[in-house]
Structure 1
Amino acid sequence: MQITKTLIMSALLAASTASFAHGDEKHAKGAALMKMEQKEWGIGGLPNAVNRTVEIRMTDNMRFTPDLVEVKQGETIKFVHLNNGKVMHEFVLGTKKELDEHAALMKKFPTMEHDEPYMAHVGAGKKGEIVWNFNKVGEFDFACLLPGHYEAGMVGKIKVVAK
């Protein structure tokens, strides 16, 4: 009986806090809704603190253009993602280790629901945006983690240099 109650409560909690799936939904990334959680590769940025905008194009040949972006430590970048393809793509910032782990989960659970401030899911022919503050020096990665895309080489690098 206790296990059943626990499972029901877990399901209710998950349903009440569920985020968006990998669909064409417009993801709310307003400052009031964004989780400001420090990550190894930085923290969500505020739209009114953007230092510059970087446009990233996504194509069905499983490539990002550009696939290398250099940033100065402390810069807040607005990434504008243009999906020039005919299928959904995504842009996920992280470390190689985090992206590898997330890609493995996406293979097991292709409809996995999540929406983080370092991710943009962009439907075919659509545009997406994220704002990110790179407050740590280092080399970080970005990728499309939809099944098959990561494995096909849809990856890129962010190089954050000291001020």
Structure 2
Amino acid sequence: MKTLQTLGLAALLAASSSAFAHGDEAHAKPHKFDAAKVEATDFGQEGDPAKVTRTIKVDMNDNMRFTPANLVIKRGETVRFVVHNGGKVLHEMVLGTSKALAEHAELMKKFPEMEHSDANMAHVKPGRKGEIVSQFTQPGEFQFACLQPGHFEAGMVGKLSVK
């Protein structure tokens, strides 16, 4: 049954290609903030770029690590993450719960060319920068990870604490 659900989810994701772009940011449509379309997540919601209270720079590299790897956010903060890829391969930063990121990483292994782009992720080519703006409304322990096939499994995961 779980396999059937996974395949069903994959089919839905594949069919929604206009809303998705994964693998190569050149195929991703730039994400534009639209307050009417903001959806709640386990940690908060997409943030309004005009209401950013703090900017955090995060570097990704081919050692499969983020720097810094541990972030503390105040509940209610709207944070702009400026994500730099210092490596030679595509990396990404995706915010979420540990369970959601692990499930997404498994799906990416099965469908490495799967395309999608959401407000909680930035796909960044080597030597380039990307941004994520999030408002953290829920306290708890969350993660950020690179879900390119093999990167998550190699330990490209960081800790995000909302207090």
What TM-score comes out, normalization by structure 1 length? 0.86
How far 1:30 moved relative to its partner?
A: 1.5
**Mapped partners of 1:34, 1:60: distance in 2:** 37
State the identity as a percent: 52
SS at match of 2:102: helix
| Partners of 2:19 and 2:117 within 8 A in 1 | no
Give the number of aligned pairs: 151
**Mapped partners of 2:53, 2:46: distance in 1:** 14
- The verdict on how the C-alpha distance between 1:46 and 1:109 changes in structure 2, with shifts beyond 3 A counting, is same
Matching residue within 127, 145, 148 for 1:146: 148
**Mapped partners of 1:33, 1:20: distance in 2:** 21
Q: Which runs of 5+ in 1 are unaligned?
A: 1-9
More helix by share: 2
Instruction: Find the structure with the greater CA-based Rg.
Output: 1
How far 1:14 moved relative to its partner?
A: 3.0
Match of 2:125 in 1: 123
How far 1:19 moved relative to its partner?
A: 2.2
Match of 1:4 in 2: none
What TM-score comes out, normalization by structure 2 length? 0.86
The residue type equivalent to 1:108 in the other structure is: K
Establish whether residue 19 from structure 1 lines up as the match of residue 20 from structure 2: yes
SS at match of 1:86: coil
Establish whether residue 84 from structure 1 lines up as the match of residue 86 from structure 2: yes
RMSD: 2.1
Match of 2:74 in 1: 72
How far 1:20 moved relative to its partner?
A: 1.8
- The verdict on how the C-alpha distance between 1:16 and 1:70 changes in structure 2, with shifts beyond 3 A counting, is closer
Q: Which runs of 5+ in 2 are unaligned?
A: 1-10
